[in-house]
Structure formats: C-alpha cells, structure tokens
Amino acid sequence: MAFDSYQFDRISQNLKQRKAPFTFKKMMGGAAFFLDEKMLLGLDQDKNTGENRLMARIGEEASQQALLKPGCRPMDFTGRPMKGYVYVYPEGLDADEQLDYWIGLCLAFNPQAKKSKK
C-alpha cells in the first residue's frame, strides 16, 4: 500500500484526541478513514509525482475556499474533479495546525455526507 505511515499516525492521533469513533480500510492504493460508515478522509500517493497526499471529503461549499490554501488541489482521482473532495499535498499538511484544519473540515461535513452504496 502506498501511503505515508507517519501521516496515518498523525491522523489517527488527531481523531482519537477528538474522540471520533473512526475506522479505516486499506483501499484505492492507500488508506481511507471512515466515520459513521462514511468516508471521512484518506491517504494515498500521487502516481505521477510520488508525493504523499491527503484526500479530504469536505463538501462542495468548503471546497472553493479550501482551494486557496497551500497544497490544496482539486481531487481528480478519475481524471475529472470530484465534487466535495480535495487533495492536500505535503506543503499543506506539515504543521499540526494545518492537519487539524483539514480534519476539522472533514468532520464538519461528515453529518451531511451520504453513505456509499454497498
């Protein structure tokens, strides 16, 4: 699996501190964190550059403002931007405050997110 174990540990610790009852699965060549059976965020590696990145599910409203942040880019996993999702590259995740910001956006959107079809 191609994801950064250091970032995985940082995210896990942050979610535990927030007392968020998350689960995770290895998938899509990376790892995905779930809350209330809905994808919250994930980690993978950019196949073109080899950079590790965060996949954040923050909703369409928050996406526009988030794209102004360092390291944030539209999530185009399928070749087209996915509405409500963004990628965050290392320059946007280095500081604990940055990671906390992204996890906060994901947690804020989670109650409105739809569950994936089984």
Write the CB contacts of 70 (distance below 8 Å, at least 6 apart in sequence): 91, 92, 98
Question: Residues 4, 52: contact at Cβ < 8 Å?
Answer: yes
CATH 3.40.50.1220 given to domain 5-112 = no
Q: What percent of the chain has pLDDT above 70?
A: 97
pLDDT of residue 118: 65
Mean pLDDT, the chain, integer: 93
Average pLDDT of span 44-61: 93
Structure tokens at 61: 């409203």
Structure confidence at residue 88 (pLDDT): 98
At residue 17 the predicted structure's pLDDT band, cuts being 50, 70 and 90, is very high
pLDDT reading at 1 higher than 70 = no
Q: How confident is the model at residue 37 (pLDDT cuts 50, 70, 90)?
A: very high
Q: Please give the model's pTM, rounded to 2 decimal places.
A: 0.92
Q: Any idea where the domains of the chain sit in the sequence?
A: 5-112
